[in-house]
Structure 1
Amino acid sequence: MTDIGNAAEFLALAFIWVIGLIALVAVVLFIIDVTQSSDAVRRNFPVIGRFRHLFTELGEFFRQYFFAMDREEMPFNRAQRDWVDRAAKGKGNTIAFGSTKNLQPVGTPIFVNCPWPKLDHGETQAAPMRIGPTAKHPYDAPSYFNVSGMSYGSLSKPAVRALSLGAARAGCWINTGEGGLAPAHLEGGGDVVFQIGTAKYGVRTEDGELSDEKLREVASNPEVKMFELKLSQGAKPGKGGILPAAKVNEEIAEIRGIRAHEASISPNRHPEIDSVDDLITMIRHLRAVTGKPVGIKFVIGAYGWLEDFFDRLSKGEPDDAPDFMTIDSGDGGTGAAPMPLMDNVGLVIRESLPMVVDMRDKAGLKDRIRIIASGKMITPSDIAWALATGADFVNSARAFMFSIGCIQAMKCNTNKCPTGVTTHNRRLQRGLVPEDKAVKVEHFVENMRKEVNIIAHSCGVDSPRDLKRYHVRIVCPDGRSRPMDELHPGPALQS
C-alpha cells in the first residue's frame, strides 16, 4: 500500500508541475503577444491567436486527405495522382461504377470512338521519329513520351538517379533542366537532352558567358542526344530560375559553375538574344559546335515574333530552323516561382499547342521541326490529346515526380520535401531508393503507352501518332461538343 501511495503522490506532483509549466508558458506567450506589434490577431487575441497559424499549416494536409473530393484538388487532383501511382506500381488501372470526371466543363476533350476499333492483336507501337535531319548526329527518338526538364539541384540526387535509371529502362529520354549535366543523369546510360538556360549552367565561363569548350565537352557524351535552348518556362515566363541557397551545395555549385551556399538566380532572358535574327544565329552556333540537334523551349504569350520567325524560316536555309520546339504551358510547374507569374502569365497548352502546330505547318516545316508539348499532362487522355492536336512528342515533369513518390506536399521550395524528391536533407532523401523507384518509372512509361494505345485503337487507328484532330471533340460554352478540326482547322482548311 505504501508503494501505491508513493506512486500516487508522485503522479499528483508531476501533474501539478506540468499544469504549472503550461500556465507559465501561457503567461509568457500572453506577454509576448500583447506587447508585439507585427501581428494584429495575436495582439488582440493573445495565445489563442497563435492557433490560426497552426490551423493554416494543417489545413492543406486535412484538405488533401480528408475533405477534398477526388477531382477537386489543384494543381493535380487525387484521381490523377492515383492513376500515376497505380501505373507506376504496375497495378491494374480499371475502375468501377462509372467515371467521376465531370465531362461538361468548357474545353473538355472527348475522343470519338470508331464503330470498328482496331483489334488488340493488331496493336502497333509508335515508330521512332528522327529529330535534326540536318545535324551531324541526328537523333532517332524512340519514345513519344519523355521526362521533361527538372534540374539537378531542384531535384535531389536520388530522384535524378531514379529518373535516369528508369528512363533508360523505359527507352525514353530525360531532360536535364537548366541546372547542368550531373553524373546522375548519365548513370542510367539512357538518352539525355541537355537544356541551356539563361544562366548557361554547366556550359558557362566564370562570367556567365556561353563556353564553346564546355559545350563540346557535354556533347562528347554519347548519351547526350540533343540540346534545348530555354527561352522561357510556363511557371515563370519572363523570369529566370530560382534555386534557394539551402540547395546550392558544393557538388551542385561545381556542376553549374557557380558559388556554393548562395542563392542562384538566372537572368530573365538570354542577354545575347534580342531578335529573331539573334535566335537563328544562336541556333546555328549551337548546332555547329555540338554537332547535335538543337531546339528551343518557350511558353506562348505574345506571338507576333513567332509569326516573323516562321516567315523567316520558310524563306531561309534548313539550318536556320530549330530541330524541335518545346511548347510549355502557362500553368506549368516549378519548385519556386512568384505567384503572379505562375497564375496569370502565359497561354495554357490547350490554346498554344494548336496555334504553334498550325504556324509550323503553314510555313511548310512539318517534316523539319518537331513539336514537343509540355505542361500539366500526366494521364493518357492528356497525351492522346496532344498527339491528336499535332505534337510529335510529349514531355512531363510532375507526372514522373509522382511516379517516384511525390505526394504533392507543396514543399518543393523549402528543402523539406517529405518524400526526398526535392530536398538535399540526407535524412529525407533516405526514403527514396533509386533502384526501386526506377522500376516504377519504367512501369509508368509502359502503362502510359499502353493506355494511349487503347485510346488510339478505340478511335480506329493503329498507333497514337495516327490520331488526328477529327478524332477529338471539344466541349463548348453552349454545352455541346464540336470537332477539334472545326475549332482548329489547320492551315489547309483555313485557306
Structure 2
Amino acid sequence: MIDSHWALELLTWLEVSFIVLVGAALLVVVFMYVTDITQNTHTIRKNYPVIGRFRYFFEHLGEFFRQYFFANDREEMPFNRADRSWVYRAAKNIDSNIGFGSTLNLNEPGTLIFLNAAFPIMENDALMPSPVTLGPFCRTPYTTNSIFNISGMSYGAISSPAIKALSHGAAKAGCWLNTGEGGLSPYHLEGNCDLVFQIGTAKYGVRDLDGNLSDARLLDLAAKPQIKMFEIKLSQGAKPGKGGILPAEKVSVEVALIRGIPEGQASISPNGHTDIRSVAELLKMIDHIRTVTGKPVGFKAVLGEKKWLIDLINEIRIHGIEAAPDFITLDSADGGSGAAPQPLMDHVGLPIKESLPWVTALLTEAGLKERIKIIVAGKLITPHMVAWALASGADFVNSARGFMFALGCIQALQCHKNTCPTGITTHNSKLQKGLDPTNKAERVAAYQYNITKSVAMIAHSCGAAEPRQLKSEHIHIVNANGFSVPLDDFNPQPLIFAPHNPHFSESKTLTKN
C-alpha cells in the first residue's frame, strides 16, 4: 500500500510538472509570436513568426558543420581540411603518409610543382638548416638556424594557457615566439624561449604614462635574455591601415594591467605610429631602439603601395648600411587576426605570393639582401608553402594560425569573441580547461620539427642539401592552360628594373660607411 501511495504521488507530480512545462513552453511561444509579428526590424521573423528564429540558429551551426559534412578536402576557406589535417598529424607526431593518390588538382592554375633532381641528396649528405645572423652591427646580434617560427599573437587575443604552451613548445623546438603588440606577459617568459618583442602603434609594454615610447621600459625589456629582437609593427596583413582590436570582453584585469589600459574597455590601437610618419622617421626610430637596447630591430608591414620601400632604400643610401633595418617582416593580405573589419581582411593589401618576390628582387638589386633579412607570414602552414617562401627569398617563415591548429584550433571562426570552444582565444576559464599547456607544448614542438623535416625532404628531392639552398629555379607554377612554367616567369619585378628609373642610377652595392 505504501509503495502504491508513493507511486501515485510521484505520477501525479510528474503529470503536474509536465503540464507546467508545456504551459510555460506555450507561453514562451506565444510571447515570441507576438514579439515577432509586432516588430519591424527583421523581415523573416515578421513573415514567419517563431519559425523564422531558427534561421539564425542554423546559420550559426553551419560554421561548425560545414567543415565536417559539406566541404570537400581542398575547398574550404581560410584553410581547407587537407591542410588542417596535415598540421594536426604533424602536431601529434603521427604518420602523415597518404595512400592511393593525391586529392590536389595538379591542373589548377597557381599550383606549385617542385622540380625533383635526377640524383637527390642522400641522407648522409643532408644538412640541417644553416644559421642566420640578424643585426650584424648590434651590440647583441641574434643567430638562429630555425626556419619556422611563431608569429605575433598577443596575450589578450589568445589565452594564458595558449601562451604558456607556445612558450614551452618554442623552447623545445628551438624557434622564436613573437609576443604580438599586447606587451610582455609572464606567460611568454615561462618557457624560457627566444622572444621577439613587437612594438605596436599603441606601444603597449614600452610606453610611458602619456603613451609615448619609454627608453626606461625598453632598457628593462632589453635586460631580459629571452628577448632577442624588437619588431616595429607598421601594419598587419588582415587589417592594413587599422590598429589592433581587442574586444572589451577580452580585456581582463591582467590584460589591462599588462597593456596599461582600463579593464573591460575595448583596446583599440591607433592605425599608425604618431611618431613614424615617413621612411626617414622609421629609420630614426629603428636606430633609436637599436641604440637603446643593443639588439636587432626591424619592422612588420603588409605591402600595398610600393614606392615607400624604394624611398626607404634611398634613405639608407644617405645614412649608410648600418642604418638599415635588421629585418623586414612581410605580412600577407591573407594573414589572420583575432579581430578585423571584413572589408580590410577581404580586399586590402597584396598577398605574399606577389609581395615576397618583389621585395626580394628589390633588396637584391639594391645590394641589401644580405643585410636585411626577410621574414614572411601569411597562410604558410604546410611544408610546400614554407619551401616556396624560402625559395622565393625569405630567410624565415612565421606562422600564427598553423601553431593555433597545433594547439587544437578547429577553425570555429570565434576568435573575435570570447567563446572559442578550444580555449585558445578566450579568457573564459571553463573553456580554457581543455587546453593543457604541457600536452599542447609537445604538439607545438612536434609541429615545428615536422614542418622543418618535411621542408628539408622537399629540398633534398630537388637536389638541395638543406632548405635554405632552395631557389626559385627549383619551382614551376601551373598557368592558365594547365601546363607549368618556371616560377620566375610569374614573379613581379620591382620598379627599379625600369631603365629610366632615376632612383638607382648610382652603384647598386652598399657598404658600411
Amino acid at match of 1:44: N
CA contact (8 A) 2:354 2:491 kept: no
Matched letter for residue 299 of structure 1: V
The yes-or-no answer on 1:150 pairing with 2:166 is no
1:197-216 map, 5 Å: 197-216=200-219
Q: Does 1:246 align with 2:249?
A: yes
* 1:62 to partner: Cα distance: 1.6
Q: For the Cα contact (< 8 Å) 1:90–1:447, is it kept in 2? A: yes
| 2:197 paired residue among 194, 199, 218 | 194
Give yes or no for the alignment of 1:104 onto 2:107.
Answer: yes
Letter matched to residue 140 of structure 1: T
* SS of residue matched to 1:421: coil
Once the two structures are superposed, the pairs formed by residues 279-298 of structure 1 within 5 Å of their partners are 279-298=282-301
- Measured in 1, the distance between the counterparts of 2:249 and 2:279 equals 37
- The farther-off stretch of 59-68 and 18-27 is 18-27
**Residue type of the partner of 2:331?**
D
Q: Is the 8 A contact 2:177 2:196 kept in 1?
A: yes
Distance in 2 (alpha carbons) for counterparts of 1:327 and 1:482: 26
Structure 1: state its 5+ residue gaps.
none
Amino acid at match of 2:489: E
Q: Distance in 2 between matches of 1:70 and 1:345?
A: 27
The answer on whether the counterparts of 1:314 and 1:363 sit within 8 Å (CA) in structure 2 is: no
1:444 aligns with 2:458: no
Aligned to 1:19: 22
Deviations 1:44-81 (A, max 9, x none): 21111111111111111221221111112111111111
Q: Deviations over 1:287-346 (max 9, x none)?
A: 111100000100000001111112332453122200000000001100100000000000
How far, CA to CA, are the matches of 2:200 and 2:39 in structure 1? 45
Which of 28, 33, 54 is the matching residue for 2:31? 28
- One-letter code aligned to 2:93: G
**Number of residue pairs the alignment of both structures matches:** 495
Q: TM-score, normalised by structure 2?
A: 0.93
**Closer, same or farther: CA 61–487 of 1 in aligned 2, 3 Å:** closer
Structure 2 counterparts to residues 316-327 of structure 1, below 5 A: 316-327=319-330
Please give the alpha-carbon distance, in whole angstroms, between the structure 1 residues aligned to 2:492 and 2:211: 44
In the other structure, the counterpart of 1:49 is 52
Shift of 1:159: 0.3
User: In the alignment, does 2:89 pair up with 1:86?
Assistant: yes
The one-letter code of the counterpart of 1:460 is G
CA distance in 1, matches of 2:111, 2:159: 35
Partner of 1:234: 237
Task: Answer with 17-26 or 115-124: which moved more.
Answer: 17-26
The question of 1:464 aligning with 2:480 is answered: no
Residue 64 (str. 1) matches residue 58 (str. 2): no
Retained in 2: the 8 A contact 1:314–1:364?
Answer: no
Q: What CA deviation, in whole Å up to 9, does each residue of 1:388-445 have, x standing for no partner?
A: 0010000000000110111111111111111110111111111111111111111111
Percent of matched pairs sharing the same residue: 57
1:301 aligned partner, one-letter code: G
Alignment CA distance shift 1:487-1:38 (3 Å): closer
2:397 pairs with 1:394: yes
Corresponding residue of 1:220: 223
Does the CA-based 8 Å contact 1:112-1:472 persist in structure 2? Answer: yes
Post-superposition CA distance 1:357-392 (Å, at most 9, x none): 111111101110000011111000010000000100
Structure 1 letter corresponding to 2:75:
E
CA distance in 2, matches of 1:457, 1:216: 44
Q: Which amino acid aligns with 1:404?
A: L
Map 1:259-278 onto structure 2 (within 5 A): 259-278=262-281
Q: Which moved more, 1:246-255 or 1:269-278?
A: 246-255
Give the counterpart letter for 1:54 in structure 2.
F
Tell me if the contact between 2:87 and 2:402 (Cα under 8 Å) persists in the aligned partners: yes
Change (3 A) 1:427 1:8: closer
- Give the TM-score taking structure 1 as reference length: 0.96
Structure 1 position 21, deviation (Å): 3.1
Report the 3-state secondary structure (helix = DSSP H, G, I; strand = E; otherwise coil) of the residue aligned with 2:97: coil
| 1:336 aligned residue | 339
CA offset at residue 7 of structure 1?
Answer: 6.7
Q: In 2, are the aligned partners of 1:310 and 1:359 still within 8 Å (CA)? A: no
CA contact 1:156–1:422 (8 Å) conserved in 2: yes
Q: Amino acid of the residue matched to residue 277 of structure 1?
A: A
Contact 2:378/2:399 (CA < 8 Å) preserved in 1? yes
Farther-moved stretch of structure 1 (97-106 vs 356-365)? 97-106
| Cα distance change, pair 286–167 in 1 and its aligned pair in 2 (3 A) | same
- CA offset at residue 478 of structure 1? 2.5
* SS of 2:196 mapped into structure 1: strand
CA distance in 2, matches of 1:428, 1:23: 33
- Is the CA contact 2:180–2:197 (under 8 Å) kept in the aligned structure 1? yes
Q: How far apart are the structure 2 equivalents of 1:85 and 1:304? A: 40
Query: Is the contact between residue 311 and residue 363 of structure 1 (CA under 8 Å) also seen in structure 2?
Result: no
- 1:415 alignment partner in structure 2: 418
**Equivalent residue for 2:373, pick from 366, 370, 382:** 370
1:16: Cα distance to partner? Answer: 4.2
Q: Could you say which residue in structure 1 is the equivalent of 2:172?
A: 169
Distance 2:222 2:166 in 1: 21
Gaps of 5+ in 2: 500-513
2-structure distance, mates of 1:51, 1:486:
52
Following TM superposition, by how much is the alpha carbon of 1:10 offset from its aligned partner in structure 2, in angstroms?
5.9
Give distance in 1, aligned partners of 2:249 and 2:288: 35
Query: Which residue in the other structure is 1:488 paired with?
Result: 491
Structure 2 CA distance for partners of 1:98 and 1:493, relative to 1, 3 Å: farther
